[in-house]
Amino acid sequence: MSVLGPTLETARLTLRPTAPADFEPWAELAGDELVMKFLGGPLPRSVAWRNFLAAAGAWAMQGFGQFSVIERSSGRWVGRVGPLLPEGWPGTEVGWALAREAWGRGYATEAASAAMDFAVDALGWSEVIHCIDDGNLTSQSVARRLGSSVLRIGRLPAPIDEDITVWGQSAAQWKARRG
């Protein structure tokens, strides 16, 4: 599946486009009530499958999509992180969702940093946002570690059809931050 997009390496993680073998852990993540608390709630396996295919299809149709995040030391799938821009979205987003067992290790920040580099350098995005629920303090902390701040209130398209706090930064800010 690497034909669809690049593989990115960080100190502890490999980020690559989704592959068929990723579905089982993807479905587990999507069905986890705590992981999905601020992402619309847990999904039944059939909906997780459709979302999984949409993520893979984004690579073919848009030239980018969320990466599967693989822990290099174990080879274990630990989440999904990366650029996304669904129809009607409030901006060019780098988002993240990690399996509960990967929480607290700095993986979200590490993976999102690599994904932001990709979005700015390879995709040429001038702004990178993160749509974060006001109650999601953990993701707000990740956004702050990335150098992002609250930019505005955006609206997520139907069927969500809700206002959301949009965090983010310009590409120039990101480039200056990473030196």
Residue owning tokens 């609206």: 155
Predicted TM-score of the model (pTM): 0.95
Residue 158 lies in a domain: no
pLDDT of residue 4: 81
Mean pLDDT for the stretch of residues 62-83:
97
pLDDT of residue 166: 98
Measured distance CA(135)–CA(115) in Å, rounded: 24
Residue 141 lies in a domain: no
Residues 6+ apart with CB under 8 A from 32: 42, 99, 100
What range defines the domain where residue 59 resides?
2-127
Residue 165 lies in a domain: no
Residue 167 lies in a domain: no
Q: What is the pLDDT of residues 94-147, one digit of tens each?
A: 999 999 999 999 999 999 999 999 999 999 999 999 999 999 999 999 999 999
Residue 134 lies in a domain: no
CATH number at residue 76: 3.40.630.30
pLDDT at 83 > cutoff 50: yes
User: How would residue 53 be classed by pLDDT, with cut points 50, 70 and 90?
Assistant: very high
Bridge partners of residue 24, in order along the sequence: none
Q: What is the mean pLDDT of the chain?
A: 96
Residue 93 lies in a domain: yes
Residue 144 lies in a domain: no
Bridge partners of residue 165, in order along the sequence: 132, 153
pLDDT of residue 3: 58
Mean pLDDT for the stretch of residues 75-100:
98
Q: What is the pLDDT of residues 33-46, one digit of tens each?
A: 999 999 999 999 99
Residue 178 lies in a domain: no
Measured distance CA(79)–CA(95) in Å, rounded: 11
Element (H, E) at 49: helix 45-62
Q: Is residue 17 helix, strand or coil?
A: strand
The total of structural domains in the chain comes to 1
* CA neighbor of 153 nearest in space, from 171, 169, 165: 165
Measured distance CA(176)–CA(178) in Å, rounded: 6
pLDDT at 54 > cutoff 70: yes
In the structure encoding, which two tokens stand for residue 144, read together? 């702050």
How does DSSP assign 95-115, residue by residue?
Answer: EEEE-GGGTTSSHHHHHHHHH
pLDDT at 2 > cutoff 60: no
